Amino acid sequence: MTSIVGRMLPPRLKAALIPWYDRWLGWQRGRANDLRRLRRERALRSAERRERPQLEQARALFGTLFTREDQPLISVTIATYNRGQLLEERAIASVLAQTYQNFELVIVGDGCTDDTAERIMWLNDPRIRFYNLPQRGKYPENPQHRWMVAGTPAINRAFDEVRGSWVAHLDDDDVYHPEHLETLLHFAQAQGHELAYSRMARQVGPDEWLDFGGPGFGGEVNSVPHSAVLFRRYLTLFRFDPGAWRLGWPVDHHLWIRMQRAGVNVGFLDQQTVSSPLRPNTTQQGSQAEDRT
Round to whole Å and give the CA distance between 199 and 185.
15
Beta partners for residue 169, in sequence order:
77
CB atoms within 10 A of CB 246: 17
> Is 11 among the domain residues?
no
* Residue 210 DSSP one-character state: E
What string of DSSP letters covers 102-144? -EEEEEEESS--SSHHHHHHHH--TTEEEEE-SSPPP--SSHH
Residue 214: helix, strand or coil by DSSP?
coil
Q: Is the pLDDT confidence value at 21 over 80?
A: no
Beta partners for residue 107, in sequence order:
78, 130
Q: Write out the residue range of the structural domain in which residue 185 sits.
A: 38-291
CB atoms within 10 A of CB 62: 13
pLDDT in tens, 97-115: 999 999 999 999 999 999 9
Round to whole Å and give the CA distance between 247 and 255.
12
Q: Is the pLDDT confidence value at 3 over 70?
A: no
CB 147 within 8 A of CB 291: yes
> Which positions ≥6 away from 42 have C-beta within 8 Å?
none
pLDDT in tens, 170-202: 999 999 999 999 999 999 999 999 999 999 999
CB 240 within 8 A of CB 251: yes
CB 222 within 8 A of CB 202: no
- Which pLDDT does position 283 carry in this prediction? 64
- Which pLDDT does position 34 carry in this prediction? 61
Nearest 5 degrees, angle CA 48-CA 50-CA 51? 65
pLDDT in tens, 216-268: 998 878 899 999 999 999 999 999 999 999 999 999 999 999 999 999 999 99
> Is 48 among the domain residues?
yes
What string of DSSP letters covers 11-71? HHHHHHHHHHHHHHHHHHHHHHHHHHHHHHHHHHHHHHHHHHHHHHHHHHHHGGGGGT-SS
Give the predicted TM-score (pTM) of the model. 0.85
- Which pLDDT does position 220 carry in this prediction? 79
Phi-psi region of 113 (alpha: psi -120 to 50; beta: other; left: phi over 0): alpha
pLDDT in tens, 61-88: 998 888 888 899 999 999 999 999 999 9
Domain count, the chain: 1
- What CATH number corresponds to the domain at position 171? 3.90.550.10
Gap between the terminal Cα atoms of the chain? 40
